[in-house]
Structure 1
Amino acid sequence: MGTIILSQTITGILGNFSLLSHYLYLYFTGYKFRPTDLIIKHLTVANCLAILLKGVPQTKTALGMKHFLSDIGCKLVFYVHRVSKDVSTGITCLLSVSQAITISPSKSRCAKFKAKAPKYIGSCNILCWMLNLILNVMVPVYMTGKQKDNNITENVDHGYCYSANPGKSTASLYAALVCFQNIFFVSLMLWTSSYMVFILYRHRQQVQYIHGTNVNSRSSPESRATHSILVLVSTFVSLSTLSSIFHICLTVLKNPSVWLVNTSALIAGSFPAVSPYILMSHDSRVPNLCCACTRNNKCPT
């Protein structure tokens, strides 16, 4: 299990740093950014924090290391991880909504938001971080380090930290809050994804009607970006639903097994590790830029 979590952590870190390097390359070459690129940058930062603060401690624990985090360290690690995980959820939803507005037809109800949406993307990203910093402020209260003399029977063992059992009523309330938050974001993502699939299907039907069977197999940048976000959202919904089930089990059960704790950590780190590869596989700007540089002996601005 330690080897599996370590491999996932290394893969995720390499993927997210590669994605950040990709945007850094585009910035220095003067390439024009899309409105959704800012959202993806925030998503990448959140995923980096989530996979580092969950993968590294969980790997050490699975490999037999213990008592490597102090009481303050446990509070900080769990708090920042929970914030980054929730930010990743909110920003993925924001990415789906933004792309749905971008590809909406000019006669649709969403068309009136096309010009205004890019102006508020930065504010929405910052608001998402601020709200989750406030909403998760109670997480450090229940976390303690293993170096402290704790009553183990009343605490949940996470391998490298303890979390105090808040009681049935508080645990049920917290589980309900987690469920509501995930159901809201997942429902919104499913709605926007269905809308994008409908728009792409209708557009394809119109193109086939106009050009007959001679339809260009190369899709537009907007279409590739939409496909990327659809795959990303589908992956997120699947893994988030599974992760929420495990998280609720850890919250409700008094003494969860080591297998349950490790499996929950493995599933929680799956989306941050996979998402950068999904986004890069559908982004053809770097290859196109290299081809243009080769043909013209200069990079386009």
Structure 2
Amino acid sequence: MSLYDTVLGIIFLSQTGVGVLGNSSFLCFYAHTLFSSPRSRLLDPILVQLTLTNTIVLLSKGCPLVNFYFGNVYFLGSLGCKMVFYFQRMSRGLAICTMCLLSIFQAVTISPSNSRLAKHKVGVLKLIRPSCLLSWIFNMIIEVNVPLHITGSRRINSSHTGGFEVLYCYREKMLKEIIILPSLRDILCVGGMVWASGYIIVLLYRHQRKVQHIHRTSRSQKTSPEIRATQTVLLLLSIFVSAYCISCSSALYKVYEIHSGDWLVVVSTFTALCFPTISPFLLIHRDTQIFRSCCASWQKPSLHS
């Protein structure tokens, strides 16, 4: 095991560990907040789904790379490779759908009373939980063909041709018919995110201009919970789209450039893991209820000591 492999193993171990810890902490603090004040917010199911999806992404992408770079190269058999790649693809699609749902429902939530969306706001917001459930079912179904194109570990398939190795597994080149649905899903979800983000930015700009004269003489301008939540969603979207574009560009270059080396897999995976690692800490910091619960749990041991 070289120094290069050791450094990469430590990087991915730290990234995966911090991300899993952050998402687990968010779920724990959210559960504590829910029990202390049973009134749940409209977008809470989507945030919980996002946290669960982040955990699946981190475990399915990070753990295999940690094992690989720490010297356990052939730790996955044929079944292990099929399961790992299925969860990677399914969680990736679920993350895109979840962010699309979060952006669209946030846009509906803050829509003014005189807008077209306001007429259907009550009915649309009732679709949050069914939409979350359907996103799970949809992504589990459209990625069901992925295991058929994972033929096992590198050692088992060292003589195969017509495919390519992805560090620890061997994957055949997928047919165009198989990637049509995931590609359409990505295009529609990214389009939905762009539309919702533009709509939210316009609403925030109008709101800022409308109330600017009220706070002109005030030194302490308090941001309302709705505006703070909207700003958090926009920040999450910007981080997600940036990481998504870099990861997709690296993955596409890897597919079409045979002699690109393994460094593109490293870059693609690292950027893909950035969002699920950062987002839970951003949610904890930006969510006032969860942040207060977090601070209270940290202050209790110090008071007793």
Q: TM-score, normalised by structure 1?
A: 0.88
What pairs up with 1:79-98 in 2 under 5 angstroms? 79-98=86-105
1:257 matched to 2:261? The reply is: yes
Residues 32 and 293, structure 2, Cα contact 8 Å, conserved in 1: no
1:218 matched to 2:222? The reply is: yes
1:33 matched to 2:33? The reply is: no
Matched residue, 1:295: none
What pairs up with 1:221-260 in 2 under 5 angstroms? 221-254=225-258, 256-260=260-264
Matched residue, 2:159: 151
C-alpha spacing 1:54/1:155, structure 2 compared with 1 (3 Å): same
Give the Cα–Cα distance (whole angstroms) in 2 for the partners of residues 222 and 95 of structure 1: 14
C-alpha spacing 1:177/1:250, structure 2 compared with 1 (3 Å): farther
**Alignment: residue pair count:** 289
Cα offset, 1:256, TM superposition: 4.3
Matched residue, 1:208: 212
Deviation track 1:74-113 (CA, whole Å, cap 9, x = no partner) reads 1011101210111011011100001100111000011022
Matched residue, 2:300: none
Specify which of 30, 55, 59 is matched with residue 48 of structure 1.
55
Cα offset, 1:247, TM superposition: 2.0
Residues 93 and 139, structure 2, Cα contact 8 Å, conserved in 1: yes
C-alpha spacing 1:286/1:131, structure 2 compared with 1 (3 Å): closer
Matched residue, 1:109: 116
Cα offset, 1:136, TM superposition: 0.8
Cα offset, 1:41, TM superposition: 0.4
Specify which of 163, 178, 184 is matched with residue 171 of structure 2.
163
Residues 165 and 254, structure 1, Cα contact 8 Å, conserved in 2: no
Matched residue, 2:76: 69
Q: Which amino acid aligns with 1:235?
A: I
When the two chains are superposed, the root-mean-square deviation of aligned CA atoms in Å is: 2.3
Q: Which amino acid aligns with 1:110?
A: L
Report SS of the residue matched to 1:144. Answer: strand
Cα offset, 1:264, TM superposition: 1.4
Report SS of the residue matched to 1:116. Answer: helix
Residues 57 and 92, structure 2, Cα contact 8 Å, conserved in 1: yes
C-alpha spacing 1:3/1:247, structure 2 compared with 1 (3 Å): same
Give the Cα–Cα distance (whole angstroms) in 2 for the partners of residues 194 and 113 of structure 1: 20
Report SS of the residue matched to 1:163. Answer: strand
Give the Cα–Cα distance (whole angstroms) in 1 for the partners of residues 119 and 106 of structure 2: 14
Give the Cα–Cα distance (whole angstroms) in 2 for the partners of residues 31 and 289 of structure 1: 14
Give the Cα–Cα distance (whole angstroms) in 1 for the partners of residues 34 and 196 of structure 2: 29
Deviation track 1:145-176 (CA, whole Å, cap 9, x = no partner) reads 2253442443311121110134xxx36x6667
Q: Which amino acid aligns with 2:113?
A: S
Cα offset, 1:20, TM superposition: 0.6
Give the fraction of aligned pairs with identical amino acids, expressed as a percent. 38
Cα offset, 1:63, TM superposition: 2.2
Unaligned runs of at least 5 residues, structure 1: 293-301
Report SS of the residue matched to 2:266. Answer: helix
C-alpha spacing 1:159/1:265, structure 2 compared with 1 (3 Å): same
Matched residue, 1:298: none
Q: TM-score, normalised by structure 2?
A: 0.87
Residues 96 and 192, structure 1, Cα contact 8 Å, conserved in 2: yes
Q: Which amino acid aligns with 1:103?
A: I
